[in-house]
Amino acid sequence: MSAELSGRKNLLGSTDVRDPDVSVLPDIQGQDNVEVLVASADKNEPLVTRKELWSYYLYYNGDNGVGPLGYTQTLFQDLATNAGHDPVAGPGSSCTALNASGQCVLPWGSGTKSVASIVLLANGISFAIMTSILTTIGSAGDYGTFGRWLLFVVTVVCWAAQYACMALTSPSRWKLAMVLYIIGFVSYGATLVFYAAAFPRLARNTPLSRKLREKYENGEISAEEYETEESLEKNRISNISTMHSNVGYVATYVPNLALLLPPATANSPLVDNYVLILDNTYWVLLGIWWFIYQLPRHGPPLPKGEHYLTIGWKQIWAAVKTYKHLPHTFVYLVAYFLLADGLNTTGTLISICQNAKFSFSFLTLTYIGLSQAITSTISTLGFWYIQRHWKISTKKMFVVTNVVTVLIPLWGMIGIWTDKFGFHNEWEFWAYNIVFGLFQAPYYAFSQTMMAELSPPGFDNMFFGLFGLSNRASSMVGPNVIQAIIDETGNNWQGFPFLFALCTAASVIIWFAVDVEKGRRAAVKWASSRRS
């Protein structure tokens, strides 16, 4: 049963008569005597097949980030460090000498800049470019088949950038390494956003979601039960896809050891490059199936007179102007902007310290990565089992992961005042990766489900584009602030207090100011009045 709408206008001014994707249903059980708004899939859209769902999982299995987020940064930082000099010893000195001061700078502009600051600056540039892409064309993916092609293009660009890393053969090419790192980082972040944007529509079209919808329409289940079960179905797909990403970590790290352990390959000056090629090939082999088996679920045609390069800004502006109608959605987006900024920059800062501590060893980083990947896989399944068994809400599960998000930079702060703790010892980096795996892997699954719950149906690319700004492109602030602090103090650990404050403030806002149930119903109501 669809809502009959008359005289209402969509974001660009055209009149709506009937909304195919949203239904306004009365609570037929009579609970609380309220009107319940329920999102449903367009019945003209195909049901999700087993092949399609598995190809969706396999794409994320390959798109695990080991190359673009891990090894590429390590290779870039390694080349930059070997090209730099110790500012204490002066130009011509080596940053890796036994008597080195621990500082390392490179010529930058009319002076010098520390390697850590350059890496953070590269991240800041990456996030700025990503922001431009997501705001300009991100929400255009809601129209026609544009979203499908967006994911394909950014995926191919990322694959090409990873293969191009074979050209990084000497420290003198650290600038090329920086460029390839930025291209890979931007395109990889875009793949995550556009991949996640396909999730809500996919979840609404599973056989179970359709069955739940029919049961509700027929009066067999209450509104409360429908919303709970539909939310669990979203969590099921989100958690399983996240688990596959972590399985992908393991499946790439293990073959890497076949290159990093045998003396014949381990002693090759290009072994790190070979590892990147191996990981990228793994993603190509698993990721291509999504573009083959993804079923067509087209959005509406682009409105007459509009263009894909301009409609994104119009859509976002129209959405932002309606923040009063979607208060919980926008509070979550703002808070998650801060939280993602804090978490992403914390991870980058710890990686910089970790790379230096382990002398940029791909072998050691592979072992550490395996510890995180294995615990991530176990924890994702464990959190999903607990949630499903006790039917715990998405927000409550997300809150548990937020606590650890706050504690990580707090631990780093300790390193300002003592060398005994606070990411100064090897065991701390092992512990960090294990704890990260146990709690932060589920964090990504639940944050995505929260966004799916709060997004107006049919505007998935628009709101997941905004979510992408919060999750990936938000971090224009953190890296730039932290690199300025490091330049001023010469101490990497001085950046942790700012990150702790950022994560704490964002978590408190999410805990106390976001009501998912109210936000979900407001989102469906908004979509009902706006979609054509």
For 274-306, give the DSSP string: HHHHHHHHHHHHHHHHHHHHPPP---PPPPTT-
Q: What is the pLDDT of residues 462-502, one digit of tens each?
A: 788 778 777 665 566 788 888 888 888 888 899 999 999 99
Query: Residue 33: left (phi > 0), alpha (psi -120 to 50), or beta?
Result: left
Identify the residue with better confidence: 112 or 464: 112
Identify the residue with better confidence: 18 or 70: 70
- Residue 42 confidence (pLDDT): 58
- Residue 266 confidence (pLDDT): 86
- Residue 7 confidence (pLDDT): 31
Q: How much of the chain is helix, strand and coil, in % rounded to 5?
A: 70, 5, 25
- Residue 425 confidence (pLDDT): 95
The alpha carbon of residue 63 and the mean position of all alpha carbons in its chain are separated, in whole angstroms, by 11
Confidence of residue 11 (pLDDT cuts 50, 70, 90): very low
Residues 280/163, Cβ–Cβ less than 8 Å: yes
Q: Where are the domains of the chain?
A: 51-308, 309-531
For 340-380, give the DSSP string: HHHHHHHHHHHHHHHHHHTTT-HHHHHHHHHHHHHHHHHHH
Q: What is the pLDDT of residues 448-459, one digit of tens each?
A: 899 989 988 878
Nearest CA to 139 out of 8, 291, 306 is that of 306
In CATH, 309-531 is 3.40.50.720 = no
Whether 309-531 and 51-308 are alike in CATH topology: the answer is yes
- Residue 428 confidence (pLDDT): 97
Residues 142/299, Cβ–Cβ less than 8 Å: yes
Backbone angles phi, psi at 25, to 5 degrees: -120, 140
- Residue 17 confidence (pLDDT): 34
Eight-state DSSP code of residue 24 = E
CA distance 357 to 425: 8
Q: What is the pLDDT of residues 269-310, one digit of tens each?
A: 899 999 999 999 999 999 999 999 999 887 778 888 888 888
In CATH, 51-308 is 1.10.1740 = no
- Residue 4 confidence (pLDDT): 29
- Residue 531 confidence (pLDDT): 59
- R_g of the chain, CA atoms, integer Å: 24
- Residue 311 confidence (pLDDT): 80
Eight-state DSSP code of residue 47 = P
Q: What is the pLDDT of residues 206-261, one digit of tens each?
A: 999 999 988 988 889 888 888 889 899 999 999 999 999 989 989 999 899 999 99
